[in-house]
Amino acid sequence: MRVSHPFAVVGLALLGSQVFAAPPTVPEARKALTPLYAGISKAFLARDLEGVLKYFGAASDRKPGEKGTDPKELRTKFGTMFIMLKEMKSAKMEIAKLTVVGDRVVVLNRYSYVGVIEPERGRTVKAADQGVTRDTWARTAKGWRIIHLETLKSNPTINGKPIDEVMKSPQAPPKK
């Protein structure tokens, strides 16, 4: 790129190359995001809240009017999950489909996790979930970050039984 005006050169230097980087191709995006999903899985396995949250962007990473996931909601959601889990046995994420949309990358992420929770002192149960999320990634000054996460499908189970069935059982408190 040839820039002749000195203010333009300063502007490019201040904004950084990330802003003007061409949208990635599908293979480039897959190559960039696959290790990031491995990092998220590793952080989930370790129940490392900060390790998970570092892959999510801030509100400032979104364009005006663009849908996004509130980092505070994620902190609450994942923090509560990690508190409830006594142990995480496995956590896996896999890119099922990847689409480049302008300067964003939209991923259908197939996930699964298995953990152990202790609903009562001394009694543990196996908690699992598998499903699909739609993750919108943006290339930011800090690298690729998820700016919007939407759960499309979730199949949570307790000891292999659907959670709805477990919640209806006589030992569970009635729903209000």
**Residue among 43, 30, 126, 161 nearest 92 (CA):** 43
Higher pLDDT residue, 126 or 2?
126
Q: Where are the domains of the chain?
A: 21-168
Average of per-residue pLDDT across 119-123 = 86
| Segment 19-53, tens digit of pLDDT | 446 899 999 999 999 999 999 999 999 999 999 99
Q: What is the pLDDT of residue 171?
A: 61
Residue 92 in tokens: 């896996």
pTM of the predicted structure, to 2 decimals: 0.81
Architecture of the structural domain at 21-168: Roll (3.10)
| Structure confidence by residue, pLDDT tens digits, 67-112 | 899 889 999 999 999 999 999 999 999 999 999 999 999 999 999 9
23 φ/ψ sector (left φ>0, alpha ψ -120 to 50, else beta):
beta
Helix, strand, coil percentages in the chain from 3-state DSSP, rounded to 5: 35, 40, 25
**Is residue 90 a contact partner of residue 84, using CB atoms and an 8 Å limit?**
no
**Residue pLDDT, tens place only, 55-73:** 999 988 999 999 899 889 9
